[in-house]
Amino acid sequence: MTDKKSDTRSAAIAAGVILLVATAVLYLMPNVIVWLGTFSPWLGTGFGVLVILAFFFVFWLRARYQRRGQR
């Protein structure tokens, strides 16, 4: 059995790290898209789409990891 307090602390730390990284990336994203857009509008659009998909991918991976631990 795992300690309930340890699980809660681990989840809070993971959420904090994800929030900080996502905030930094989303803060810088418009500047990067504009810079990439000077080379190609498709490149800027592709980068924006990939960043947003990566955001949801991280949560999907975390959910899979948590489900696997419950079995």
Q: Give the model confidence (pLDDT) of 11-51 as tens digits.
A: 789 889 988 988 999 899 999 999 999 999 999 999 999 99
**pTM, whole model, 2 decimals?**
0.69
Residue 64: is its pLDDT beyond 70? yes
**Enclosing domain of residue 15:** 4-70
How far apart, in whole angstroms, are the C-alpha atoms of residue 33 and residue 16? 26
Report the pLDDT value the prediction gives residue 65, as an integer from 0 to 100: 82
Higher pLDDT, 8 or 35: 35
In the numeric block, which tokens belong to residue 21?
A: 């990284």
Instruction: Name the domain count of the chain.
Output: 1
Radius of gyration of the chain (CA): 17
Q: Which helix (H) or strand (E) holds 60?
A: helix 41-70
